[in-house]
Chains A and B, each alone.
Chain A
Amino acid sequence: MMTTINAFLAAKGIYLLTLILLSLGAAGIIVCNNYMKKLICMNVMQVAVIFFFLCFGQKTGGTIPVALSEVVKASEYINPLPHGLMLTAIVVSLGTTGVGLSLLFRITEKYGTIEEDDLIRRENKTKTGEKE
């Protein structure tokens, strides 16, 4: 019993951890009341997916995907594509975080708070419709 669990964890444990990280991020976005914390949780979630890609891109015994003269077989290199994809994903997540932070700036300027409860209370107080 123990050995099968050990074997499973050794092979797939990292995916389990990634899944936990992903769920933590998603739960945080739902549960947290503070918009800054929500943004952080969003980042955690994106990092979890990046981990997922990097994990399945990993290969035991492979070397970095730079053409070396002594390594000739393709099977001795790891696949560079997941890393390439994740570079793009990191740039995208940087962009999203930037937009999110600037929106938070605007929210604090206009409402003076980033707590969701306060925001909803203030939104309901200002008259709906006419004013934008």
Chain B
Amino acid sequence: MKENIPVLIILLPLCSALLCLLLTGLHKRLGRALVVLATAGSLVLSVIQLRTVITEGTIHYAVGGYEPPFGIELVIDSLNALIIVMISIIGFLTVLFAENFGDDRPVVKGSANAILALLITGLLGMTSTGDMFNLYVFLEITSLSAYCLIAMGGSKGVVSAYRYMLVGTIAATFYLLGIGILYSATGTLNMGDLSAILNKGGYDDVMLVSMSFLIAAFGIKMALFPFHGWQPSAYTHAEPGTRPLITGVMGKIPALAMFRYFYCIYGTDYIYVKYLLILLGVFSVFGMLYGSLMAMGQSDIRKILAYSSVAQIGYISLGFAIGTPVALAGSFLHMIGHAFMKGGLFFCTGAIRFKYGTVNIDDFGRIYKKMPLTCGLLVVAALSMIGIPPTAGFFSKWYLALGAAGRHEWIYIAVLVISSLLNAVYFFKVIEKVFIQQDKGLDDKWSKGELELPLTIILPVVVCFIAILGIGIFNVKLFDILMLTLEGVGL
């Protein structure tokens, strides 16, 4: 049992996704109950896995008993294990949260839950796999379920899902081409094996060509600056219940895969790595400025958050561009922190929409009196986005700046500060609307019971609130866990 944990974490949501629609046909609530149970199971197992990895070191798991490099291998190091815990938590909360939104017909509800479970499966698989082609398969599972979930968000959602599908398929095709080039040169698909072969030398040009395809592919999937065109409308019009998972986690996992290719497979001895990192740095710098500037001009809160995601992905890739272990740890800390911030902010907007049916920040006047918990999370997440201690956002930016200073990249630090200030401009606009502006007197759509919202919305809100502060306060502990893996890699 214990040695099979890495594969069980992926299999539980997958099986629940396959059975969900059938069980929903038997009884309305049965399918969802199964998905909730399966994601909760993954969550528990992923925490156990994290503990094992910290005490015993990296896990190598050969799927089906076929030994690598011929079989598919799952590799779980401390970095992966932490990200898997993050996916499981947000996935579990999103499954709970999604119950309150969308169509009430059993078939629609059942298939929405099934697709959500598939999305979680894809994300977990992409994180844990150690095989290039397996990564492609999980990437496509993730993308296909994301297209469906975005298309469920109404008529605009369908068009943005279609546009995302075209761009996303280009990305997947480029990824396939990239690994095709690497495979034809080396004859292996296993990442560890590939890294060993490439580092023997003589593959410099092959690596450069395939890397340019891979940067484009992962850039599109994570919505890095020049490739971000699909992202704002897709994030805005996605199905409201599943938005936290799509916005909070989906963009981060391709970033993790990009990190694997840059640092774990290619390694820092590769002769062109300097130029590739400068390219990545330029993308991130422009992304951080562009995303923040565009977010300032929006009045729909979903658009504000979507554009701010373009900027926040810039922070993550900035850490990769700096490349020292400290900066990389900052990057991953930001990845985990931002998942809870952005996920949390979308839990908030979902909650406000659920209660008052509005997403326009001009309608948010004095909403804090009626929804204290939600507004508490809104404020904490906003402060964390700006980077005010002791929230998670401050410490990840701190480590990024520390890493940049270590390599004397002063431009990066300047942009980091400017982008944070721009963040402050548009988040204080939101906070001002919530606390100071006149009450619009919107009518309450949910006033049953004592609580401000149903329990399934309150739980995600509270967990995100605790997580943002917790990551901030215990950042040294997380930093140490990340360093177990990052010590050896990086410049």
Q: Do A and B bind each other?
A: yes
What is the number of contacts between chain A and chain B, taking CB atoms within 8 Å?
86
Query: Secondary structure of the B side of the interface?
Result: helix
Q: Which residues of A contact B4 (CB under 8 A)?
A: none
Within 8 A of A (CB), among B420-479: none
Whether B176 lies near A89 (C-beta < 8 A) is yes
**CB within 8 Å for A96 and B151 given contacts A49-B180, A106-B158, A107-B162:** no
CB-CB under 8 A from B148, the residues of chain A are: 99
A46 to B151, CA, bound (A): 23
Q: How near does chain B come to A111, taking the closest CB pair, in angstroms?
A: 7
Q: How far is the CB of A113 from chain B (nearest CB, A)?
A: 11
Overall SS of chain A's interface: helix
Residues of A within 8 A of B144 (CB): 95-96, 99
Residues of A within 8 A of B197 (CB): none
Contact B140 A96 (CB under 8 A): yes
Shortest C-beta distance, B460 to chain A (Å), equals: 21
How many residues of A are counted as interface, with CB atoms below 8 angstroms from the partner's CB atoms?
37
In angstroms, how far is the closest chain A Cβ from the Cβ of B152?
10
B204 within 8 A of A: no
B32 within 8 A of A: no
Which of B12-20, B164-172, B270-278, B318-326 is near enough to bind chain A?
Answer: B164-172
CB of A83 within 8 Å of the partner chain? no
B487 within 8 Å of A (CB atoms): no
Q: Are A49 and B158 touching (Cβ within 8 A)? A: no
The smallest C-beta distance from B474 to any residue of chain A, in angstroms, reads 38
Q: Does A129 contact B (CB under 8 A)?
A: yes
In the complex, what distance in Å separates the CA atom of A104 from the CA atom of B159? 9
Do A99 and B176 form a contact, CB below 8 Å, given A110-B155, A129-B300, A129-B359? no
For B160, give the chain A residue with the smallest CB separation: A123
Known: A110-B155, A130-B360, A132-B156. A100 touches B176 (CB 8 A): no
- Spell out B's residues near A (CB within 8 Å): 133, 136-137, 140, 144, 147-148, 151, 153-159, 161-162, 165-166, 169-170, 172-173, 176-177, 180, 183-184, 189, 237, 240, 299-300, 358-360
Q: Could you name 21 residue pairs across A and B whose Cβ atoms are closer than 8 Å?
A: A22-B177, A45-B169, A52-B180, A53-B180, A88-B133, A88-B137, A95-B144, A99-B144, A99-B148, A100-B165, A103-B165, A104-B162, A106-B151, A107-B158, A111-B155, A119-B159, A130-B358, A131-B154, A132-B153, A132-B154, A132-B157
